[in-house]
Structure 1
């Protein structure tokens, strides 16, 4: 079974879509869920979903780790065709997962109590991100 989720983003941040995943796998039995984001400037992540400050802190950390090309420390980067966040978004995507494998038991993703599934947006402008999903047993 496979599908593609289209997830709108509003700029840098973590966008949870655990609820959509749970609805899609409900009643499907046991197996392995594979997710793959079809972009080079966004990532996937399993992260805590209880405290919204975790999402804020993760976004701030990656912005500080890889700032836009307008930052003097990043002046050596030349790939800026789509703006100062272009190459930094690709670097962040290279540092984070673009695919996830999650076990499913009796149609329920076997996430921990505080775990959620997120698209991590690395671009400044709103995007529609596509995540390919495959479930098999």
Structure 2
């Protein structure tokens, strides 16, 4: 049994779902581990991770609109230290996931045909986001 740990950096242009599947796949491949369990963890409180539809952009836009409705800006939040999108970003992150567990087989994450790994940026401004990756297996 082996394990590898690393960190991936993503520069987001602002709010939305940003596909990080290829970067995660490249990292897994570089470890040489063929079978195991991958953990992907976003190291921020105003961004999150999702496994989501990778073929139809409309599905991702609908997800983004849904979260904008359930955690809207300008709803009178007490916490607004970094602007009107500050607390909504924290709420959206709390409603989604900060970590994902994905099986690895034949040296790659086991994802469905239409699944991709997405960094969900909840802030309007561009940000540099760090994602920790950990793979245990053989």
Give the structure-1-normalised TM-score: 0.93
Q: Secondary structure at the match of 2:25?
A: helix
Does structure 1 residue 15 correspond to structure 2 residue 32?
Answer: no
- Structure 2 matches for 1:101-116, cutoff 5 A? 101-116=101-116
Unpaired runs of 5+ residues, structure 1, are: none
Between the aligned partners of 2:28 and 2:52, the Cα distance in structure 1 is 19
Give the structure-2-normalised TM-score: 0.93
1:57 equivalent in structure 2: 62
Between the aligned partners of 2:101 and 2:67, the Cα distance in structure 1 is 23
Does structure 1 residue 29 correspond to structure 2 residue 34?
Answer: yes
1:81 equivalent in structure 2: 81
Q: Stretches of 4+ moved more than 2 A in 1?
A: none
Between the aligned partners of 1:4 and 1:23, the Cα distance in structure 2 is 12
1:68 equivalent in structure 2: 73
Q: Secondary structure at the match of 1:78?
A: coil
Unpaired runs of 5+ residues, structure 2, are: none
Give the CA RMSD over aligned residues: 0.8
